[in-house]
């Protein structure tokens, strides 16, 4: 089997997407993926990310591939977790304190940096609308994050998210309370829960 065949097989296995990193890990030359792009068999979607020409670009997946330390948060997390109907006009990502965010200034990304002890708190993975897996803060962590005053999330979005949370079968209120305590939004969380539950 040729490099081309192996890469195309990997692309189809990955539902139409492949990264230069995946090609390298498979022991193949990154030049092979560029060759396939030059021939029109693949299309460069973002730096290091290639897709089949008939595929839609998955901006969320592209951002996470390029900014590996970024975790989707706040309104973007609400969208990915189906806690809002609003598609974010700008994506929100969270990075560890000290992360160099200079290259994010030219992207459609709002970002924040948090202390390392809460950076990984509540991380999970979900599928994007493009069917790729990305890292995102889970429901309980996201509900706490949107209540922090400095995040300026619209009150209507917050109310809607808590209403949807109240209807979820497998909600984890003890975990929500634990995160609220760690993130210092206990009173706000309690006031929303008292109204809804």
Strand segments (E) across 42-128 = 43-46, 49-51, 71-72, 91-96, 109-114, 123-127
Q: For residue 107, what pLDDT is reported?
A: 85
Q: For residue 151, what pLDDT is reported?
A: 65
Averaged pLDDT score across all residues of the chain = 90
**Among 12, 19, 73, CA closest to 49:** 19
**Alpha helix segments (H runs only) across 26-185:** 30-38, 59-66, 74-80, 116-119, 139-145, 155-167, 173-182
Where residue 5 falls among pLDDT bands split at 50, 70, 90?
confident
Q: For residue 164, what pLDDT is reported?
A: 94
**Among 156, 138, 155, CA closest to 78:** 138
The answer to whether residue 55 scores a pLDDT higher than 80 is no
Cα–Cα distance, 38 to 22 (Å, whole number): 19
In the chain, domain spans: 3-57, 60-196
The answer to whether residue 149 scores a pLDDT higher than 90 is no
**Could you report the per-residue pLDDT of 76-98, keeping only the tens digit for each?**
999 999 999 998 889 999 999 99
CATH 1.10.260.40 at 3-57, yes or no:
no
The answer to whether residue 4 scores a pLDDT higher than 70 is yes
Q: For residue 165, what pLDDT is reported?
A: 94
Given a contact cutoff of 8 angstroms between Cβ atoms, the answer to whether 50 and 42 are in contact is yes
């Amino acid at each position: 089997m040729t490099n081309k065949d192996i890469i195309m097989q990997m692309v189809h296995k990955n539902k139409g997407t492949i990264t230069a990193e995946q090609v390298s890990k498979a022991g193949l030359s990154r030049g092979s993926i560029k060759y396939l792009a030059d021939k029109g068999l693949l299309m460069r979607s973002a730096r290091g990310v290639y897709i089949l020409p008939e595929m839609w670009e998955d901006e969320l997946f592209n951002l996470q591939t390029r900014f590996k330390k970024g975790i989707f948060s706040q309104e973007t997390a609400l969208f990915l977790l189906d806690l809002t109907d609003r598609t974010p006009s700008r994506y929100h990502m969270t990075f560890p304190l000290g992360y160099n965010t200079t290259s994010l200034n030219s992207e459609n990304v709002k970002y924040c940096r948090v202390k390392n002890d809460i950076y990984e708190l509540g991380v999970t993975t979900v599928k994007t609308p493009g069917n790729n897996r990305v890292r995102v803060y889970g429901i309980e962590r996201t509900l706490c994050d949107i209540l922090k005053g400095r995040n300026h999330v619209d009150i209507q979005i917050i109310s809607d998210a808590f209403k949807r949370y109240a209807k979820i079968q497998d909600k984890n209120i003890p975990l929500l309370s634990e995160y609220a305590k760690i993130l210092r939004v206990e009173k706000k969380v309690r006031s929303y829960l008292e109204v809804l539950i």
